[in-house]
Amino acid sequence: MAQTALNLGDNTPKPTFGVFRWWRNWVRPRATNRDEAFRESTIRVTVAILLTATILSFLASLPFFDLQGGLVSYPMLTLLAAVLTLASGIAVARHALNTAGRFLVLTFIVAASGITIIDGYWASLVLPMYMLVVLITALVLPRSSLLPISWVSIILFGVIAVLQEDAGRQLKILIEEEIVVAATDVIINVAFLVTIQALFLRQLRIEFDSRLAAMSESVQQAEQAKQEADRANRAKSEFLAGMSHEFRTPLNAIIGYVDIMLSGMAGAFSEKQTQLQTHIKHNASRLLGMINDTLDMAKIEANRLEMHLSQFSPEEELRQIAESMKSLTDKKQIELNVLTLPDLPPVVTGDLQKTQQIFTNLLGNAIKFTSQGGVAVYIGRKDAERWMFKVVDTGIGIPEEAFDQIFEMFQRVEQGSAKYEGTGLGLAISKRLVDFLGGEISVMSRQRAGSTFTVILPCEVKEPELVSW
């Protein structure tokens, strides 16, 4: 139930208004390089805000158009700014980042100069506008543009201020009352503040750029090291996977010869000799098991797993394996029960050999780590598309902090490793196989109470898509 509710919650589309969706889509940078993506998103955000502001301001000032002095007026200035911003927006949409940046900086220079012309070089808005020119340059253009653009702005401002002061004198506007501060004073102040801001921002950009370069270099080095390690690991795994035949054949031969001796076909042996042969067989079988695990893992690591799909009855196949392991539980005097839940699909499509291997590993572990009580296997349906089996035991259990770790290679829980045989590969192999089949594996356990391993598999396993390296 909880799962259904969760799925419903996840699938419900979040309500988004058209304008928000448009905004999110517009400000999302398309460049993949981090530095470019930063500049691009700054340009995109600024263009969107500026375009809205200039268009609104132009529309608002239209009724007073005539009163504001025709060409040299705020409506004309906002219109010009809107056109330049639009040009920047078109350039950024076409991935011409530098052109877009230049248009944006030009918009700010035009706005700052326009305000100076309209309001006079003494107006309070003038200095912040020139400082904005420097700020936007630092954000959207290469570092080398910062000082030249600051100087261009200062020169522009200086020329306008000197001309204004001159015009004021010629028109006999009362300098002392209307133009309170002399142009040179203002120019010096603006030049000083704009330059010092440009220098500070340049310092920041140098630091930012060098950190970015160092970071990209270490990411590249790590990537290279990883690729090399992967290549070496694959070579090792491929070697091992290729050697599987060579490793297994002599061991199988040893086991086969001992079997012949034990069967009596090679003549009679004394009780002591038979005991020794049993030891040889036990140890050779153990070694074969460990080699099989190692080679299976190597095969998985070398990406050499192949899918062999067929139809089979989960109940029949798992019961058969449990049956074949009954002798182990009998020897330990513990119970082994297999319970089939009523809605279990009679036939599924999957990789039988891999499903058997997963089940054998889990059941083998359950028996190995249980000395009292017993082991129960439940086979049933998980949902419309998936079936599952659970292996429940009353064994030594697993501490919660080791739940993830036991699915990794060669990881064994401390208290288990000394007393019980094993390689620490069974669960790692099982997990990789379950993943390969598109399923899930999980564990629940309490120490000294027992463990439950659950495997969920698709009723129709699909052929994997080709993985390219």
Residue with smaller CB distance to ligand ADP, 345 or 395 = 395
Which residue is it, tokens 């927006």? 89
**At 391, phi and psi to the nearest 5?**
-115, 115
CB of residue 17 to ligand ADP, shortest distance in Å: 52
390 lies in the site for ligand ADP, by CB under 6 A? no
Residues 290-309 that bind ligand ADP (CB under 6 A): none
Query: Which residues lie closer than 8 Å to 388 by C-beta, 6 or more apart?
Result: 379, 380, 381, 382, 454, 455, 456, 457
Give the whole-angstrom CA distance, residue 312 versus residue 356: 11
Residue with smaller CB distance to ligand ADP, 115 or 429 = 429
Give the whole-angstrom CA distance, residue 271 versus residue 259: 15
Residue with smaller CB distance to ligand ADP, 416 or 439 = 416
Report the DSSP pairing between strands 335-340 and 374-383: parallel
425 lies in the site for ligand ADP, by CB under 6 A? yes
451 lies in the site for ligand ADP, by CB under 6 A? yes
Q: What is the DSSP letter of 71?
A: T
Among 387, 412, 437, 455, binds ligand ADP (CB under 6 A): 412
**C-alpha distances out from residue 438 to 405, 430, 461, Å:** 21, 12, 7
Residue with smaller CB distance to ligand ADP, 201 or 406 = 406
Q: How many CB atoms lie within 10 A of CB 65?
A: 14
89 lies in the site for ligand ADP, by CB under 6 A? no
Residue with smaller CB distance to ligand ADP, 29 or 397 = 397
Among 428, 433, 434, 457, binds ligand ADP (CB under 6 A): 428
* Count of residues interacting with ligand ADP (CB under 6 A): 22
CB of residue 285 to ligand ADP, shortest distance in Å: 14
CB of residue 421 to ligand ADP, shortest distance in Å: 7
Maximum alpha-carbon separation in the chain:
135
Query: Which residues lie closer than 8 Å to 223 by C-beta, 6 or more apart?
Result: none
- Minimal CA–CA distance to 291: which of 245, 253, 256, 258? 245
CA gyration radius, the chain: 39
Name the residue whose CB lies closest to ligand ADP. Answer: 422
Give the whole-angstrom CA distance, residue 249 versus residue 108: 80
Given a contact cutoff of 8 angstroms between Cβ atoms, the answer to whether 154 and 126 are in contact is no
396 lies in the site for ligand ADP, by CB under 6 A? yes
CB of residue 439 to ligand ADP, shortest distance in Å: 17
Among 136, 161, 366, 433, binds ligand ADP (CB under 6 A): 366
Specify burial of residue 269 (Cβ count, 10 A radius: 0-12, 13-18, 19+): middle
Given a contact cutoff of 8 angstroms between Cβ atoms, the answer to whether 161 and 179 are in contact is no
363 lies in the site for ligand ADP, by CB under 6 A? no
Span near ligand ADP by CB under 6 A; candidates 94-102, 181-189, 298-306, 395-403: 395-403
Residue with smaller CB distance to ligand ADP, 203 or 417 = 417
CB of residue 315 to ligand ADP, shortest distance in Å: 22
374 lies in the site for ligand ADP, by CB under 6 A? no
Span near ligand ADP by CB under 6 A; candidates 102-110, 176-184, 211-219, 423-431: 423-431
Interface residues with ligand ADP (CB under 6 A)? 361, 365-366, 369, 393, 395-398, 406, 412-413, 416-417, 422-428, 451
